[in-house]
Chain A
Amino acid sequence: DTGVSQDPRHKITKRGQNVTFRCDPISEHNRLYWYRQTLGQGPEFLTYFQNEAQLEKSRLLSDRFSAERPKGSFSTLEIQRTEQGDSAMYLCASSLSVNHEQYFGPGTRLTVT
């Protein structure tokens, strides 16, 4: 399978713990995006990388959130001191360029208890 992959698929954590998610984009895609989706809503943009550079962050991305894309390949999204409001599906997408569609991974479902 050569699509976008995400790990883990599900994560249950207690409030206050830190969690880290990984995304592996389609191999030739240099753009990588993170979105968050809550029940009954469409995905909301969080942040975006072109190669290893993080070029934009949404106001939704508080100081507890940090994302990296070392070497311009896979990306990680870390949430520190999780809160119940962080419970959501975290989606990763990649695209070949700004002129191409974004392809999404299966998502990581986070539940904060």
Chain B
Amino acid sequence: EDQVTQSPEALRLQEGESSSLNCSYTVSGLRGLFWYRQDPGKGPEFLFTLYSAGEEKEKERLKATLTKKESFLHITAPKPEDSATYLCAVQAWGFSGGYNKLIFGAGTRLAVHP
């Protein structure tokens, strides 16, 4: 069964303290791995798509990397405005055929304190 596990569940950082979030997955054929950011009471906001092992994407203080079994979201010198829940998802094969849905992990709640 396709599954996504994120760790840690929650992470508290001081402003400027770099760290990494982990997303491990088991899926029958990875089509794509996605990272989203979600603020309280809002819908997920798209960050990155990764398709193959070794691929890396960067955006401001965030860098996402992908291996055959997991993905990391590295946060460099975070600021308080980076506080949010970060969700990882894999694109999974649907019963009707085709990669029609995302399977999400439970997310990592990040709090960055000044």
Contacts and interface: CB of A to CB of B under 8 A. Distances in A.
Interface of A: 4, 33, 35, 40-45, 48, 55-56, 58, 91, 93, 98, 101-107, 109
Interface in B58-114: 87, 89, 94-96, 98-107
B38 to A, nearest CB: 9
Nearest to A42: B104
B46 A101 contact: yes
A102 B107 CA distance: 17
B55 to A, nearest CB: 15
Contacts of A4: 43
A109 B43 CA distance: 11
Interface of B: 4, 34, 36, 41-46, 49, 87, 89, 94-96, 98-107
Contacts of A45: 101-103
Contact of B104 (A44, A98, A106, A107): A44
Nearest to B48: A101
Contacts of A98: 98-100
Given A42-B87, A42-B107, A56-B96, 6 more contacts: A35-B102, A42-B104, A91-B43, A104-B46, A105-B43, A107-B42
Q: Identify which of B43, B87, B102, B107 gathers the most chain A CB atoms within 10 Å of its CB.
A: B43
B46 A103 contact: yes
Contacts of B98: 55, 98
B96 A102 contact: no
A106 B46 contact: no
Contact of A42 (B41, B89, B95, B96): B89
